[in-house]
Amino acid sequence: MKMRLKRLLVAVALLVGFATPAVAQPFPRPVLQFTGQLVFGPTLIVGLTVVNWRNYSPALFAESPKLPPCGLNTSASRTWVDIYNARSQRLYGFCDFADPSNLSQLYFSVPITQRPRAVYITLTDRLRRRIVVSNKVAIP
């Protein structure tokens, strides 16, 4: 009898958990900052960081196998990061971040002759269909 009651309570708890609507996590505007650059032969590698990365919930970067894949990655993260130049041309993207701290170590590379004057990023929450755009930062 105790075992049935225990199973029933667990079942009810699970049902209540699934029935409760998910609360949307805050999705603040990323504050982008240039962190440095490296010339490697004909290639420029640029480092960036999202200064306010601690304001993002880890749930935003959870593996999301129910959402479309990123190439062959069938468990891509819920939120993707894309880097654009000032003319809104995509330079690079990240689709497998596991944690908000990954936002502190962004980078992209371009031929040195195609150095962008400025860049910005977008964060795309694929589950909630939300996009936030950062500030533009100059690339010296």
pLDDT tens digits, one per residue of 24-48: 678 999 999 999 999 999 999 999 9
pLDDT band at 83, cuts 50/70/90? Answer: very high
Does the pLDDT at position 16 exceed 70?
no
Q: Measured between alpha carbons, how far is 137 from 36 in angstroms, rounded to an integer?
A: 12
Predicted TM-score of the model (pTM):
0.82
Q: Measured between alpha carbons, how far is 14 from 9 in angstroms, rounded to an integer?
A: 9
CB-CB neighbours of 110 under 10 Å: 18
Question: What is the pLDDT, as a whole number, of residue 26?
Answer: 81
Count of alpha carbons within 13 angstroms of residue 117, beta-carbon side: 3
